[in-house]
């Protein structure tokens, strides 16, 4: 039996060159599932995504999904993509096994925490939270840009694409150096010194864009205090869930979030197509 992809509709193209198309997964022309292919607007046209791959219940466990994914990679290659990316729900053991079997490498994870469960934790004695001061904003944004660029580069995208995406994201979220609506830039002080900084999206679902502990004050629990401050700030605004992204290379942050009760929601994988 032959598993193939059949276009399920016209290809769409954006003004920025983005491409997307839905396909039906077929076995000997018989529909058995579906998949959507697209280029990644966030990472540029060289990165393609395989989204929403689904195989009908009666045709599962026969390798249909694997062959469909490989066929999807061929389509992405024909579009000029040099990398493929997939996002798999953490509670999908089949999807996780499939990604591993096809040679995808996990790069980062999305985590979340229910803010309505449990007690409201207090900040450590001597730690206070305040809005970022005017003189702190520009240096902090420069550091955020550098960190974000490095994180994107770790996913395998080119340095040029990582730099352009980091700049575009900061321009969107902090236009003209002014935080966008429902964005909070906060500083943490301890013992009279600025020890950590937070960048939050406070609309539901709330999101941690960036958390930084000053290099001179690391290893003293200020990262944990910063996350407690983020959670309480979102609770005060009526938030019920707080999410974040973490790169797998940041093992210290992974351990911290796990200890604070964050659960993995989605795991993100990538693979070279060249």
Domain with residue 193: its CATH number is 3.40.630.30
Q: What does the pLDDT average to over 177-203? A: 90
pLDDT band at 153 (very low <50, low <70, confident <90, very high): confident
Are residues 260 and 173 part of one domain? yes
Q: Is the pLDDT of residue 27 over 70?
A: yes
Q: 95-107: per-residue pLDDT in tens?
A: 999 999 999 999 9
How confident is the model at residue 43, as a pLDDT?
Answer: 81
pLDDT band at 33 (very low <50, low <70, confident <90, very high): very high
Are residues 120 and 71 part of one domain? no
How confident is the model at residue 131, as a pLDDT?
Answer: 92
Are residues 123 and 256 part of one domain? yes
Are residues 252 and 185 part of one domain? yes
Is residue 124 included in any domain, yes or no?
A: yes
How confident is the model at residue 102, as a pLDDT?
Answer: 97
Q: Exposed, middle or buried by CB within 10 Å (0-12, 13-18, 19+), for 106?
A: middle
pTM reported for the whole predicted model: 0.89
- Report the C-alpha gap between 172 and 146 in whole angstroms: 16
Question: What is the DSSP track for 64-130?
Answer: HHHHHHHHHHHHHHHTT-SEEEEEEETT-HHHHHHHHHTT-EEEEEEEEEETTSS--PPPPTTEEEE
Are residues 253 and 167 part of one domain? yes
Residue 158 vs residue 65, higher pLDDT: 65
Are residues 141 and 21 part of one domain? no
Out of 66, 81, 96, a domain closes at 81
Are residues 44 and 125 part of one domain? no
Q: Which domain holds residue 68?
A: 3-81
Is residue 206 included in any domain, yes or no?
A: yes
pLDDT band at 49 (very low <50, low <70, confident <90, very high): very high
Are residues 136 and 73 part of one domain? no
The structure tokens listed for 243 are: 């999410």
Share of the chain above pLDDT 90, in %: 69
Q: 211-261: per-residue pLDDT in tens?
A: 999 999 999 999 999 999 999 999 999 999 999 999 898 899 999 999 999
Angle (CA) 259 263 267, round 5°:
125
Q: Is the pLDDT of residue 157 over 80?
A: no
How confident is the model at residue 1, as a pLDDT?
Answer: 67
Is the separation of the CB atoms in 108 and 248 below 8 Å? yes
Lowest mean pLDDT among 83-92, 117-126, 175-184: 175-184
Is residue 96 included in any domain, yes or no?
A: no
Question: What is the DSSP track for the chain?
Answer: --EEEEE-S--EE-TTS-EEEEEEEEETTEEEEEEEEEEETTTEEEEEEEEEEEE-GGGTTSSHHHHHHHHHHHHHHHTT-SEEEEEEETT-HHHHHHHHHTT-EEEEEEEEEETTSS--PPPPTTEEEEEPPHHHHHHHHHHHHHHHHHHHHHTT--HHHHHHHHHHHHHHHSGGGSPPTTEEEEEEEETTEEEEEEEEE-SSSEEEEEEEE-GGGTTSSHHHHHHHHHHHHHHHTT--EEEEEEETT-HHHHHHHHHTT-EEEEEEEEEE--
Is residue 17 included in any domain, yes or no?
A: yes
Are residues 146 and 43 part of one domain? no
Are residues 120 and 52 part of one domain? no
Q: Is the pLDDT of residue 207 over 90?
A: yes
Is residue 106 included in any domain, yes or no?
A: no
Is residue 95 included in any domain, yes or no?
A: no
Are residues 195 and 60 part of one domain? no
- Report the C-alpha gap between 29 and 213 in whole angstroms: 56
The count of structural domains within the chain is: 2
Is residue 89 included in any domain, yes or no?
A: no
Mean pLDDT across the chain? 91
Is residue 22 included in any domain, yes or no?
A: yes
């Amino acid at each position: 039996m032959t598993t193939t992809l059949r276009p399920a509709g016209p290809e769409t193209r954006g003004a920025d060159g983005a491409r997307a198309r839905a396909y039906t997964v077929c076995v000997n022309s018989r529909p058995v599932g579906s998949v959507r292919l697209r280029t990644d607007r966030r990472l540029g046209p060289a990165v393609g995504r395989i989204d929403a791959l689904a195989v009908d219940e009666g045709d599962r466990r026969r390798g249909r999904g694997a062959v469909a994914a490989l066929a999807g990679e061929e389509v992405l290659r024909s579009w000029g993509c040099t990398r493929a990316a997939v996002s798999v729900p953490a509670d999908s053991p089949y999807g996780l096994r499939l990604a591993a079997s096809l040679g995808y490498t996990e790069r980062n994870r999305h985590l979340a925490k229910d803010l309505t469960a449990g007690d409201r934790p207090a900040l450590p004695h001597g730690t206070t939270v305040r809005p970022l001061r005017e003189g702190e904003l520009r240096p902090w944004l420069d550091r955020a840009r550098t960190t974000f660029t490095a994180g994107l580069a770790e996913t395998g995208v080119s340095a040029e694409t990582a730099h352009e995406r980091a700049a575009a994201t900061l321009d969107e979220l902090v236009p003209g150096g002014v935080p966008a609506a429902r964005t909070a830039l906060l500083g943490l002080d301890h013992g009279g010194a600025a020890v950590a900084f937070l960048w939050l999206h406070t609309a539901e679902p709330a999101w941690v864009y960036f958390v930084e502990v000053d290099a001179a004050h690391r290893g003293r629990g200020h990262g944990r205090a910063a996350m407690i401050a983020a959670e309480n700030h979102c609770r005060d605004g009526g938030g019920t869930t707080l999410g974040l992204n973490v790169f797998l290379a940041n093992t210290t942050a992974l351990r911290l979030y796990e200890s604070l009760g964050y659960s993995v929601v989605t795991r993100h994988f990538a693979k070279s197509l060249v």
